[in-house]
Each structure stands twice: as structure tokens, then as C-alpha cells.
Amino acid sequence: MADHEAAGERNSSAQEVGEFLRRRREQIAQRWADETLFRTVFTMSRDEAVEACRAVVEALAAVAVADQVDNLGAAGFIAVRDQLGRMVASRTRTGAGSTQIADEVAALRTPVAELLRSELEGSPSGRTEECSVTLTALMGTLRLVVLETALNAGQELIDRQRLQLLEVATPVIKLWDGVVAVPLIGTLDSARSQVVMESLLDAVVSQQARFAILDITGVPTVDSLVAQHLMKTVAAARLMGAECIVSGIRPAIAQTIVHLGIDLGSVITRASLADALAYALHEQGSVVVDRNRTGTSAR
Amino acid sequence: MTGPIHGSPGAHVPVLKLGGILLVTLQGELHDRAAEQLQQDIGEAIEASSVTGVVIDISGVEIVDSFLGRVFAEIAAQAKLLAAQTVVAGMRPAVAITLVELGLTLPGLRTALDAQQAMLMLDPASVPVPHSPVRRESP
Amino acid sequence: MTETSGSVTACLPIHSDMDLAWVRQHVRQTAAQLGFGLVEQTKLVTAASELARNTLVHGGGGQVESTALTSGISRGLRLTFRDEGPGITDIQRALSDGYTSGGGLGLGLGGARRLVHEFSIDSRPDEGTAVTVICWVGGAPHPRQEGR
């Protein structure tokens, strides 16, 4: 048999499978709707499950017709990636591991294979075999696509949690009417500095704060990048009409700042958070009275 | 998410006079020509009557690029020549962060959290507000 | 999987300051749909505004092409500003802050570069200029400095 003939044969088997999938879309969808994967995701309505199944069958058919049964990135799969992503996310939430999800996808092959076999009854046996091999390859690819989607979903979850962790690690506190502060603890990297800047500035708006204090007592080191972020925050606060004070610069850090030749000239700094608060109160005209010292009577 | 495009390209931004202060409230999208027109209108308004301050409220503005930034700076410089102070009020955090990243820190410009604070800065007597500038604090 | 692929391309003309407003609106909407946060949206829209104005003022008008990108799990937006103007003879100088040939603050190109994750210029004297910028949702997928 000549090479090009063999290739032609294989092409048409993929196309045949594709056409078969399109022809039998309704039946396959009905059967899949009862499989674990779809049943457990679409618990509310079977119609929804069938609808989702139709979309997946349609996508597989498109991939097969385009003769791309082995191609993870086939255009046909793009259409169902979103849907598969939602399904995977829903299965993951109910505690299914990626192996289990992969097994559930694998289980989808059997009903389709049965249909295909009965449809091809009477065709030459070589043909039947070829089509069923193609179908197996196609379903294998679907399984990989689902797995890949599952891994990506996991990565997205990690990213989201990382961001949440960042936000949790930078609480903005209202110290007084018109004074907010964020005590920074730990290493400041670019991503964290960004979150700090945004939460502090949001607090300036929501608290109508004319003063914002960045306390870096808990920050082990300040390099030029961190200093740059601090100065950007100060500049942004100023544009919004608030004054930003950096407090808690320990002697070692002060030394580094001088060493690095960083000019914090335009930034108001104070040794401690208390000093920064005192400055802010003084600036906005608030007077704190010590009752014991002045002897004024208590209310 | 996005404000509608306000007015036609040549539309005037209303300039309000409150006592000795001009109040300009910018909203949504501002066309270049409208911004330049505003600059001219403010100059004329200051000249026409005794104005000691200009408040530009940009709390409704979603982006400020270097063009609009330049317009603000020029309004301030021009007002200063006519003996009036300019305060830009209510810049949103996202806008402020972007301007700093852009390299536009507008050093010559005074800023305030909102229009009321800006009015207070320019003329403490002019603002009929319930709470006085010096607040009584209770911890 | 990390290959960058694009889809959904829109093309907008830049011939007047009305068009600048439309470009800003379009970029804002597209960025919001792609899931950009408010600050990222604002940076991207501002960069687009700077570049579109460059296209209008220095390039004598042109167009912007916007493409939604996918790279692995990251999503992004690519904007390409094209004009058939005089071109930029000294790109390094044009990128430096304070350089201006059109009465602005001279922050257009350099400033826009700081607002996006990827930035490139292709300019030929007397043929025109194409500036391409890319922003990724939640930051660059392949950090420039750290590398991987």
C-alpha cells in the first residue's frame, strides 16, 4: 500500500468519526448526561447536563473533522475549555482529585465506543478497528485537555490565595479620625508593595484620611527597590490630597538608606509610629490632653 | 464600569463661582479640546471677577494622562499669575498610582481629598459646613 | 502551553481627539472584560491614551489594533499603534523623559513604557511608526528581571 494512500485512509477515519459524532450527538449527549462526570456537576437539572454534553460532543466532532485528534491545542477544544474549566472547578470543590476526574473522563469513552461499533456493523473489520482507534485517541486527547484545565485551575487557585495572603498580611488601621496606618511586617517585594500602596490609598478615600502612615518597623531590610516603592506611595498619596509619613526606620535601615544614596528628602519620616501619629494630630490641629497632668476634671 | 462620553468635543465644562472661589467639576471623559477650552474659560473667569482660588474636582475622572496633567499644571500656573491659588481635589487612587508611574507628580499643584477640603484650604470662612476645620477628637 | 496565542482583534481609527476618547473607552471595556483590576485598567488606558495621542500628533493619525492574548493560564491585551508619519529618528532619545517634539510634557513614550509589561517600537524614517504594548492580567507571566 502506498504511503499517501495510508495517510488518506487515516484522514478519512478521523473524518468519519467526526461525522459519526455529529450524527449521533443527541444520543451521545443523552448517555453522557448520566455518567458520573456530568451527573455530579449538573445536579440541578438534567437538561443542563445534556446541553453541556452536546457542546463537548460538538467540540470533539470539530476536532476530528479537522483531523486533529492528537492536538491538545486544536481550535475545537478552545470552545469547550471554559466549560471544562467550570466543571473541573466544580468537581474539585466537591473533593475529587485530578486522577478521579481523569478516570471520569475516560469513562465517557465506553458509551460512544458502543454506539460507534453498532453503527459500523457490517463495514470491513479493518475499517471498524481504525475508527475505534481514532476514537480512543480523540478521547485520550480530551482527557489530557481536562487534566491540563485542572492543573491550570489549581494554579489559578494558588495565585488567588497568594493575593489573598498578601491582603491579609497588610491590614490598614484607622488610628484616629483622618489618620490611617499600615504596619509592614516582613520582606517587601514588588507585588506586596503594590498591594500595600493600593490598600493604603483606598483607605485614604474611605476614611477621608488626610494622613497615612507607613510603619516599617517590622521590615528587615530596605533596598533601593523598596525605597522606590515607598516614595511612589508617598507621591500618590500627595496627589490625592493626603500626606504620607514613613515611620519606624531603624538605625541599621537608616544607615543602608544613606549608604545606597537614596534621597528620601521629600518624604516625612519619624522614628516611631507614635511620633508619626503625634505629628499627624498636631498638623490637623487635634490636641490630646493628659488629664493627670493638667488636672482638668474628668467628664 | 465606564462613564459615558460627556458632551460633544467642543462642549464647555461648567465653571461655578462660589464666593471668591471657582469650582470646576470634571466628569467622565474629557476631550482634549474641552480641556483646552476650560483652561481659557478659567483664565477669563479669574480676570472678570475677583477670584482668589480655583478648585478642580476630579473625583469623577477615571484617567488623567500627561495631556490633562499638563492642562492642570498650566491652569495652576496661569491662576497664580492672576493671584489665585489652584487645588486639584478628589483624585482617585488608581489615577494617582498611574500618574506616579507615568512620572507625573505635578509638584507645583496643591491637592485635597475632596472639593470641600479644597474650599477649606483656600478660604476657611467660605464653607458653610457642619463640622469645623479643627475637629474635636475623642479617641 | 506557554505559547502566546491571540484572538478577537479590533481595529480603531485615530484621526481626531474624538477618536482618542473612543480608544480609551474601548481599551477600558476590553481590559475590564479580560479581568484586569482597576489599577491595571487605569494604567493600560492611560498608556493607550499617551500612545494614541502620539499617533495623532506626531504620526499625523493612524490606527490602533487590539488583540486579546492567552499564554498558558495568563490573559493579556496587546495594543499596536500604527501611523505613516515621519518616523522617529532617535528612539532612545524619544523614550527618555522630558524629550518632546510636540509641546507636551515629554512623558508620552517613556511614561507609557512604565505603565505596561512589554513595549516595543518599530519606526522607519519617512515610513511610519508602530508601537506595540502588552499588559497581562495580574502582572507579567514571564517576569522581565527574574526570568525563568
Convert the pLDDT of each residue in A115-160 to its tens digit.
888 888 878 878 888 888 888 888 888 888 888 888 877 777 777 7
Fold of the domain spanning B20-122:
Transcription Regulator spoIIAA (3.30.750)
Could you tell me the pLDDT band of residue B68, with boundaries at 50, 70 and 90? very high
Could you tell me the pLDDT band of residue A294, with boundaries at 50, 70 and 90? low
Could you tell me the pLDDT band of residue B63, with boundaries at 50, 70 and 90? very high
The answer as to whether C141 is a domain residue is: no
CA separation, residue B57 to residues A241, B16, B51 (Å): 12, 11, 17
**Among A221-235, A280-294, B54-68, B118-132, whose mean pLDDT is lowest?**
B118-132
Residue A235 to residue B105, Cβ atoms within 8 A:
yes
Question: Could you say which DSSP state residue A297 is in?
Answer: P
Q: Which amino acid, one-letter code, is at A288?
A: V
**Among A81-90, A104-113, C43-52, whose mean pLDDT is lowest?**
A81-90
Residue B9 to residue C97, Cβ atoms within 8 A:
no
Question: B92: which chain A residues are within 8 Å (Cβ-Cβ)?
Answer: 205, 240
Domain count, chain C: 1
- A186 contact partners, CB below 8 Å, separation of at least 6: A169, A218, A219, A220
Q: What is the CATH number of domain A173-285?
A: 3.30.750.24
Question: B32: which chain C residues are within 8 Å (Cβ-Cβ)?
Answer: 17, 20, 53
**Among A107-116, A199-208, A284-293, whose mean pLDDT is lowest?**
A284-293
Nearest to B70, CA basis, from A228, C82, C100: C100
Question: Nearest CB to B5: which of C25, C49, C105?
Answer: C25
By C-alpha distance, the chain A residue nearest B64 is: A239
Nearest to B28, CA basis, from C28, C37, C64: C28
CATH number of the domain enclosing C125 = 3.30.565.10
Long-range (24+ apart) CB contacts under 8 A made by C1-5 are C1/A148, C1/C72, C2/C71, C2/C72, C2/C141, C2/C142, C3/A73, C3/C71, C4/C69, C4/C70, C4/C71, C5/A73, C5/C69, C5/C70, C5/C71
Looking at domain A3-164, its CATH class is mainly alpha
CA separation, residue A33 to residues A96, A116, A294, B95 (Å): 18, 18, 80, 49
The answer as to whether C2 is a domain residue is: no
Q: What pLDDT sits at residue C148? A: 31
Please tell me the distance from the alpha carbon of residue A183 to that of residue A196, in angstroms, as a whole number. 10
Distance from CA of B65 to the nearest CA of C (A): 6
Convert the pLDDT of each residue in B71-113 to its tens digit.
999 999 999 998 899 999 999 999 999 999 998 888 889 999 9
Tell me the residue range of the domain where C76 lies.
7-136
Q: What is the bridge-based pairing of β-strands A173-176 and B21-27?
A: unpaired
Residue C39 to residue B97, Cβ atoms within 8 A:
yes
What are the boundaries of each domain within chain B? 20-122
Question: A145: which chain C residues are within 8 Å (Cβ-Cβ)?
Answer: none
Contact map slice: B 90-129 vs A, CB within 8 A: 90-93, 95-97, 99-101, 105-106, 111-114, 117-118
Residue B137 to residue A288, Cβ atoms within 8 A:
yes
Nearest to A135, CA basis, from A15, A215, A251: A15
> C136 - beta bridge partners?
C76
Convert the pLDDT of each residue in C86-114 to its tens digit.
888 777 777 776 555 554 545 678 889 99
Convert the pLDDT of each residue in C54-77 to its tens digit.
899 888 999 999 999 988 778 899
Q: Which three cell numbers stand for residue C64?
A: 490602533
Domain with CATH 3.30.750.24 in chain A: 173-285
Please tell me the distance from the alpha carbon of residue C65 to that of residue C76, in angstroms, as a whole number. 14
Please tell me the distance from the alpha carbon of residue C87 to that of residue C85, in angstroms, as a whole number. 6
> A196 - beta bridge partners?
none
Question: A159: which chain C residues are within 8 Å (Cβ-Cβ)?
Answer: 138
Q: What pLDDT sits at residue A250? A: 86
Please tell me the distance from the alpha carbon of residue C101 to that of residue B131, in angstroms, as a whole number. 49
The answer as to whether C48 is a domain residue is: yes
Residue A235 to residue B114, Cβ atoms within 8 A:
no
Question: Could you say which DSSP state residue A35 is in?
Answer: S
Residue A190 has pLDDT above 80, yes or no: no
Are the CB atoms for A11 and A67 separated by under 8 Å? yes
Please tell me the distance from the alpha carbon of residue B7 to that of residue A34, in angstroms, as a whole number. 57
Q: What pLDDT sits at residue B57? A: 95
CB pairs < 8 Å spanning B and C: 82
Please tell me the distance from the alpha carbon of residue C46 to that of residue B62, in angstroms, as a whole number. 10
Question: How would you class B14 by CB atoms within 10 Å of its CB: exposed for 0-12, middle for 13-18, buried for 19 or more?
Answer: exposed
Are the CB atoms for A190 and A225 separated by under 8 Å? yes
Q: Could you tell me which residue, B132 or B47, shows the higher pLDDT?
A: B47
Global pTM value = 0.69
Q: What pLDDT sits at residue A280? A: 95
Q: What pLDDT sits at residue B132? A: 45
Residue C43 to residue B101, Cβ atoms within 8 A:
yes
How many whole angstroms from its chain centre is CA C140?
Answer: 15
